[in-house]
Each structure stands twice: as C-alpha cells, then as structure tokens.
Amino acid sequence: MHPRAAAPAFLSRRGGAGTESFPLVTQKKIQPPPAPILLGIECGGTRTVALLVHGREVLRHEAGPANLRLVTDPQLLRHFRALRKRLNISPDAIGIGMAGARTAALQKRILVAAGKVWPGVPCRATSDLETALAAAPAAGRTHQVLILSGTGSCCFGRDAGGRTFQFGGWGHLLGDKGSGYEIGLRALKAVVYYLDRDGALSSLGRRILRTLQLNEPNELIGWAQAAGKTDLAALAVEVFAAARDRDQIARDILAGAAHSLAKDAAHCARRLVKPSAPVQFILAGSVLLRQPRFARAVAAHLKKLRPGSTVTPLERESAWGAVELAKEGRRSAQCSVLSAQCKSSTGGDSLATDLGQASPTEQRHPLSMNFDTLSTGAAMTLMLREDEKIPAAILGERRKIGRAVQWITRSFQQGGRLFYAGAGTSGRLGVLDASECPPTFRTPPEMVQGIIAGGQTALWRAVEGAEDDPGAGARAVEFRGVSRGDVFVGIAASGRTPFVWGALAEAARRGAKTILLCFNPNLKIPRARRPSLVIAPAIGPEILTGSTRLKAGTATKLILNIFTTLAMTRLGKVSGNLMIDMNPSNAKLRERAVRIVHELTGADADGARLALEKSGWVVKAALGRLRKRR
C-alpha cells in the first residue's frame, strides 16, 4: 500500500489536545495531485518536535533534546530512527532544524544521518534559528530579524536577498544577554547586593528563597554553586512575578534585559541592511512569548532604534519552519546527502573529491595482508622495515623541503610567522611542533602556531565532522590573522582533507606563502587552487590500511622537525650543535644551560651559573657577558 493510503488513520490537525481527526477528502470527478507528506523536525536543547503534515492533516510528536554539538553520529542516528518508528510513515520531503548546526559541515552530519534513516528522501538541514525564522510569515521580500529569548538568547537575521547573520548565541558564560538565564543570575546577584547594602532581604529575595525551599540567604551560595543553566533560568519566573507586584529591583533587571535584547537585535539588523531600511522583528522563545509586558518593552526600544520597523510575535511553533524547509527541499529535488548546503564557499569540499587517483595511504599494503596472524616479532620487523623507507622518501623531496625552509627563515627574519593546519594526527603533530619551539628556541608563542580541526578538544579525542568543513578551516585562518609575510603549511596525509583545503585557500587569499604537506604523489590539483608548494613524499601504503598515524605520522614529524630546526638554526639560535637560545625553565634545563655556557666559553661551572643568573637565565646573554670579559 502506498504510504499515503494509511494517512487518514492517524494524522490529526494540531489543536489543544492534538487529537481531532480530519479524514482526507477525495473528489470524484477531478483528482488533484496527491498532497505530499512533509516531515518537519526541530531539535533543541530542551526537546525535539516533529510535525508530519499531509495537506491539512498534522501529526505532532515530541521527543527528547538533541543539540548537534552534544551528540555523536551514532546517537543522532538513533534519535532519527526512534522518530521514524514513532511516526510510522515515509515522508516525501524532510526539513530539519537542529540546535548547534551552525556550519555546513555540521549540517552535513544531519543530512548523512537522515539519508540513512529515510533513504532517497529529499532533505534540508539547518540550525533551529533558521527554522524559527522560516516559521514566521513574511510579506514579500522583507528583511527579518528573529529575537530569541528563552533559557538562552540570540538574534538571527535574513535580508531580502537571503543573506543571513547571527548575533549572539555564545552560550550562558559568554553571552545570552536578555535571556531567562541572565535574568535569573542578575536577580541572585541583586538580592545579595541589596541585602548587604540595606541590611534587609528584598521582596524579590523572599520570593527566590521560597521557590528554592531555602531557609536563609547564606544557603544561596551552595545552591548557586550546584545550579545549572536551566535552574537559574527558572528563577526568571519569580522576577517577572515580582515586577508585577511593583518590586523595583525586579523592574530594573527586566528593563535592562529588554534594552539589551533590543540593542542586539538592532545590531544584527545593521549587519544586514542600511539603518534606514525597515525590518520585521520577530519575537520568539518562552521569555518573550509568555511575558507580553516584557515583549512590549522590547518592541518599544526597537521602534526607537529602527523607526518604521514592525515587531510581531512568532505565532506558530518553530517546527513549522522545518516543514517550510521540507517544501523547499521537495521543490528543488535536493538529495538528502548531496545537498547544496554542504558545499562551502571556499570550494574546498568539492576540490577534495576531485584530486586524481586515490591516495596510497588508503591502499592495502601487499606485505601486510595477513598482519593479524603474524607473530609479534614478525609484525615488528615488518613495521620497522617500512619505517626504514621513510628517510629516502623524504630525501626525494629535499629540494622542495629546502625551499620551504628558506621561506620560513625569511618570514621569521621579517617578523612573519609559521602556521600549521591539519586534522587528527596531522593537526596534533603541527600543534606539537609549534608548542616545542618556545622552550627549545625561546620564541614567542605566536611565532609558530598550530591549528587543528575541531579545536582544543580534538587534541585528545575525535571531533565528529571537523575535518570535513572547509569553511571552518577558512575561519580559523581568518581569526588567527594570517597575512602576507606568513608561511602557512597545510598537513593532510591523503592530500584531500577539506578543512586543510579551506585553510590553504584562505591563507593564499590573504597573501601568505602556502605549502601542502601530504603523502599522495597522485594528486592532480587545478592550477587555480594549487598552493605555492606541494611536498608529497612517496612513502607508500600503511601497514594498517588508512592508519596515517603510522608511516605518514612519522614522516610528518620528521619534516616538521626539519622546518623549524633548520629555520631556527639560520636565525642564530644554534651554535655548533648546541641550543644557545633555549629556555631553562626547570632544573634539568638549567644544568644543560650551564654546560652549554661552559662548552662555548671555557668558564667553570660556577662562573657559567653566575653569568646565567645575572642574565636572567638567557643563554645568549650569558655568553655575551662572559665573552666581553676576554
């Protein structure tokens, strides 16, 4: 039976209880095209809402929360499979908005999971902010700004041409101005401040103690230490109640919150359109929708900041915006996985899939087909014999590596910097080399910098989808301030990592010298995309197919050692084979510094130590001090 045949049995129009049934009407003479079955899903930090829509019929289902940044791919897959089982019908198109899905690579994670659960069904995926904005009706080509204030807060705008901008959304520690969380936190701080100042607990303070079942203000300390974001946000209810009872402290808190929200929304609008352009501001979130007096205060501020604009509440829940996205996805016949949304403006993703033959790192090694059955001794011998081939392969690229050392040295001499960027093992090795330069060569931390896909967390565990986002690579380059005069090394064992290609493209656009370090001599890079230099030693397949922490990792470490060691040597930080600009930050290194000074000046140990102490343990300064005495 076609899935639509079952629809009348369970679809219902959403009402107060969500149970009123509406049978489908069939015309006898002229059969209209069957209405598509659209599935809109909005996943937030509090709950997931799914709407299955067939014409005028609606089935609504709620499930647990799902913030994309807090779930793994298997968890996301289970979440979608549970929804599919619950809804028990195949949709014609799907729209999904999910908290945390700010970038194309994160949205691609949603599309991949949806493609496994609903194979072949067109799907649009985006953030929950965009679905909320899509749920608001717009008259013609209107500039819109969504103002969201619930537990957290942020603003999300879209101009008439479709360009978007997000203002805020940094979380409760860095942002969330005008949110329930901030209102609750300000209330706690105000309560204890006025208790200290006046010697009496305010009416707002008494309300908070009562609702928290605390006996005295001192107990607020322990409660606040254990409270989470939602616990603090829940206190906003008492602030609004106190304000209605004319509590001046509560009124001042809410006045400040309303002004903050309005200013942020106006700033968001200014990033998209001219100050004179009218904007449709849409109020969303529990704080704004459940507190009409507060919403009116926000609207009054907005009308002063943006004359001629309109302010309207979001009249239907945000999941309807996901339904609208499903309609658009069906019209454009998007594939659930190969959605145009997944392509970055840098072009890094598409380039990474069209670079010639497969990388040797992904090929099976003919000598390790029976690796799992080898004795420990035989396996060790095979691994070490493969490692023996690495130096020769690196020497095969010595001219290019030598050119890279020249570029890096010249950059350092002219005040430039060296950047590494990579994902996984490649990224960790770049960060490692960068972190070892300050103690080894007394360089400032900004002189050599490592960038890893997924950020700091990726140093010790995998970050889902991080390496697949070229836009994230480009943004990392932008916010590190890479510029002309710098050298930028992208490290990708296969030569295909989208994050690295996005970073290389942005670094080149900013005028830096760009180097791709990889182990795929088969790369065919278009001239327009080609970095300044490509270093690709032919180390062959890995013993474990695709495990680039093995030979590729060893080769990467060797080459990065060459880059920084030779460049620092040419800067005068080495004499003979001694590090004369090291940072003696512990007892072992101070003893080494004494030996270095002794070796180079002939001073005895006591004299070398005294010179170092007088020079602040700067080896080069101590050497200069002793040489002047001669």
* Amino acid 357: pLDDT: 65
Phi, psi of 132 (to 5 degrees): -65, -40
**Structure tokens of 619?**
């080896």
pTM: 0.73
Q: Does the annotation count 436 as an active-site position?
A: yes
104: number of Cβ within 10 Å: 26
Task: For 360-573, give the CATH class.
Answer: alpha beta
3-state SS class at 538 = coil
Asked if domains 3-135+319-342 and 576-628 share a fold, the reply is no
Ranges of beta strands (E only) in 457-579 are 487-491, 513-517, 533-535, 574-575, 578-579
Q: Is the dihedral of CA 450, 454, 457, 459 positive or negative?
A: negative
Closest CA to 535 of 405, 400, 408: 400
Domain limits, the chain: 3-135+319-342, 144-312, 360-573, 576-628
The rounded distance, in Å, linking the Cα atoms of 203 and 532 is 68
Q: With contact defined as beta carbons under 8 Å apart, do 476 and 348 qualify?
A: no
The rounded distance, in Å, linking the Cα atoms of 315 and 551 is 59
What fold does the segment set 576-628 form as a domain? Helicase, Ruva Protein; domain 3 (1.10.8)
Give residue 451's identity as a one-letter amino acid code. I
Centroid of chain to Cα 120? 28
Rg from Cα positions in the chain: 31
**Residues whose CB is less than 8 angstroms from the CB of residue 336 and which lie 6 or more positions away in sequence, other chains included:** 94, 111, 114, 115, 118, 119, 120, 121, 122, 123
* Amino acid 331: pLDDT: 59
Task: For 144-312, give the CATH class.
Answer: alpha beta
Annotated catalytic residue, options 130, 317, 386, 467 = 467
| DSSP secondary structure, 129-162, as one string | HHHHHHTS---SS--EEEEEESSSEEEEEE-TTS
Find the helix or strand (DSSP H, E) in which 212 lies.
Answer: helix 203-212
* Amino acid 311: pLDDT: 94
Q: With contact defined as beta carbons under 8 Å apart, do 177 and 257 qualify?
A: yes
Annotated catalytic residue, options 436, 478, 542, 599 = 436
Phi, psi of 166 (to 5 degrees): -110, 130
Closest CA to 300 of 269, 262, 266, 334: 262
Q: With contact defined as beta carbons under 8 Å apart, do 352 and 526 qualify?
A: no
Q: Does the annotation count 57 as an active-site position?
A: no
Largest Cα–Cα distance of the chain, in whole Å? 112
| DSSP secondary structure, 350-379, as one string | HHHT-SBSPPGGGSPPGGGTTGGGS-HHHH
* Amino acid 4: pLDDT: 43
The rounded distance, in Å, linking the Cα atoms of 387 and 167 is 50
- Any idea which architecture 3-135+319-342 has in CATH? 2-Layer Sandwich (3.30)
Which positions of the chain have pLDDT values less than 50? 1-27, 333-347
